[in-house]
A and B are shown apart, each in its own frame.
Chain A
Amino acid sequence: MRRSTIRFLVVVTLVVALFLTVSVTRGARGTLSAPESWLITGVGWIQSLFHLPVQSIFAAGNKPDEETAMMELQAKVNQLQKENNELKQLLNYKKEHPMDTIAARVVYRSPDRWNNRIVINRGSIDGVKPKMPVVTARGLLGRVVNVTKYMSEIQLLTNSDGGPGIAAVIQNGSEEILGIIEGYDMEKKCLLLNKVPVTAQPKKGQFVVTSQLSDIYPGGILIGTVDQVKLNEGQVEQVVYVKPSASFERFDFVMVVKDPEKLQLNQLSEQKPSGKGGEKR
């Protein structure tokens, strides 16, 4: 064969391989294969090591005189205060909503903003399971997609590849308007609440929380506030733009919510298909 033919075949094979690997490994897989989880755990561990020292270096420069020592202390105090505040906020949150949670620290996040994935330092050994919701003190952040033994990957709400939408309700006085959160408008920095009936009249500033009907999320977790209401293209439903209450840029501590009811539901739905298969045979 000519050299150019071989090269062409190699390129075609590589593209086919790309499509294959992407379609096999994309999305929420629950648990990862062993080499992947070793790599994620290893990289996460190294990054959590230089989490603390670098922040104080940036805060205080590197001259070891009195002034910088002062600054260093000040930076440390600031950092501790910030940490303390964040943890306290988390505790308050816990009191308001008596849910069982696992507190965790963010180890790293993906550098590009076209897919939003963060990794936290708690894994299956601490009781984290796939599909568990993740919150900060200010509101819902996302959900666990993949779990390794010591780390777990979280998909933020801003991800458009978020799989099935989230059932959510707008708290409109005494009544509740049901909708489904699907997708994120990056230009307006708003989540999209679809399938809201035309008869409903949500107003700006009303709270949007997760619905009790969702099979993943426990009800009543704050998502955000109503920002804008529009008719969709077919003029049969409304699209509500929801300003998320949690910040998707700056977070250090997060909490993984353990809701016993939803966990049982998940287990049941996982067992169902295999049980059916057994009956057929």
Chain B
Amino acid sequence: MKKYFVAFLSLLFLLEGSQLQWLLPQSWGSPFVIVPQLVVSGIVAISFYLPRRYVLLISFVFGLLHDIVYGPAIGIQSFTLPLVAYGAYLLSGTFSLYQWIAGMTLLLGQLSCFLVTYGWYRLFGFTDVSFSYAFWIHMVPSVMFNLLVGYPIYRLIRWIYQKKRTRSVIFDTILR
């Protein structure tokens, strides 16, 4: 199951940088900027179904990948992603997993990821965009977009989980 999750996340990771960029409003001249964070959605969804150490490990690996491939310096996303994933893990463990709880967790995860990343960028001087501009023009549209796209991602992760879990149970009880 874990390897399917990782494969799916890798696909999301590749989409973020290349093809999705052509469809987003900023490339058509809109002042609003949408930043796709598909991997964050995927990692929040994964944190519902995997034990803690795997959630942390997978989010760290994808954070590091993001830092090396897209980011300005190594360390920012590889710190932020496990933080967000751990938060989502704690939150989803506290409540029983209705869909709206999953949605709220996703919203909080996305928003906190944006805020923490922006904070690090401001602290290290990678950006000097003012907070209100970054919040209203970048983060709010991005969070809404990522919620919309995050729902199918969450359903797909759940589908993989249910498929693979039942199969592994059969494997454990009958084939072995």
Task: Report A's interface with B, CB cutoff 8 A.
Answer: 14-15, 17-27, 36, 39-40, 43, 46-47, 50-51, 54-55, 58, 107-115, 117, 159-161, 183, 186-187, 249-250
Contacts and interface: CB of A to CB of B under 8 A. Distances in A.
B98 interface: no
Contact of B14 (A14, A18, A43, A114): A43
Contacts of B1: none
A117 B75 contact: no
B112 interface: no
Interface string B68-88: 111111111001000000000
A157 to B, nearest CB: 14
A39 B37 contact: no
Interface of B: 14, 16-23, 26-27, 29, 33, 35-37, 65, 68-76, 79, 117-118, 120-121, 124-130, 133-134, 138
B121 A115 contact: yes
Contacts of B118: 114
Contacts of B76: 18, 22
A115 B118 CA distance: 10
B127 A21 contact: no
B75 A22 contact: yes
A113 B35 contact: yes
Count chain B CB atoms within 10 A of each CB in A14, A58, A161, A183 and give the residue with the most. Answer: A161
A110 B77 CA distance: 13
B27 A50 contact: no
B17 A249 contact: no
A39 B65 contact: yes
A111 B27 contact: no
B75 A21 contact: yes
A250 B23 CA distance: 11
Contacts, number: 110
A175 B175 CA distance: 86
Contacts of B26: 113, 249
Contacts of A26: 72-73, 124, 126
A248 to B, nearest CB: 9
28 contacts: A21-B75, A22-B73, A22-B75, A22-B120, A26-B73, A40-B68, A47-B18, A50-B19, A51-B18, A54-B19, A108-B70, A111-B35, A111-B70, A114-B118, A114-B121, A114-B126, A114-B138, A115-B71, A115-B72, A115-B121, A117-B72, A159-B126, A161-B126, A186-B129, A187-B130, A187-B133, A249-B26, A249-B29
A110 B70 contact: yes
B19 A161 contact: no
Contact of A114 (B21, B73, B127): B127
Given A26-B124, A40-B68, A115-B71, 19 more contacts: A14-B79, A22-B76, A25-B75, A26-B126, A39-B65, A43-B69, A50-B18, A107-B18, A108-B17, A109-B21, A110-B17, A111-B36, A111-B37, A113-B26, A114-B138, A115-B121, A117-B72, A161-B72, A249-B27
A15 B117 CA distance: 14
Contacts of B75: 17-22, 25
Nearest to A15: B79
Nearest to B38: A111
B128 A22 contact: no
B35 A109 contact: no
A186 B133 contact: yes
Count chain A CB atoms within 10 A of each CB in B19, B37, B65, B76 and give the residue with the most. Answer: B19
Contacts of A183: 128
Given A21-B75, A39-B68, A108-B18, A114 B129 contact: yes
A159 B126 CA distance: 8
A113 to B, nearest CB: 5
A186 B71 CA distance: 19
Nearest to A46: B14
A185 to B, nearest CB: 9
Count chain A CB atoms within 10 A of each CB in B18, B74, B117 and give the residue with the most. Answer: B18
